[in-house]
Amino acid sequence: MKDIFVTLSRYNRWANARLYAELAKPLALCLAHFFNHQTHHRGQIHGLLGVCGIKAADIDLFGYTRESRE
C-alpha cells in the first residue's frame, strides 16, 4: 500500500504550449483534476441533450446498479 502513496506523490511533468513553460504537479492532484474535469464535460453533454429535447439516461452509479438488477 505504501507504493501507491509514493507513486501519487511523484510529480507529473508536461509542456504547456500556451504558456511556453514546463509545468509539474503531483500525480494525485492531476488525477483529481482529470476526474473533476470529466464531470464538467458530462454536465455539458447532459445540458446539450436537454436543449435538443433528448432525455439523457441515468448515469449515476446507484441508478445504474438499480436498473441493471431489474
Q: Band the pLDDT of 70: cuts 50, 70, 90.
A: low
Residue from 69, 42, 35 nearest 57 by CA: 42
**pLDDT of 5:** 78
Q: What is the pLDDT of residues 14-51, one digit of tens each?
A: 999 999 999 999 999 999 999 999 989 988 998 999 99
Task: Count other C-beta atoms under 10 Å from residue 45's C-beta.
Answer: 11
pTM of the model: 0.62
- Residue type present at position 28: A
- All three cell numbers of 55, joined, read 432525455
Secondary structure of residue 14 in the 3-state scheme: strand
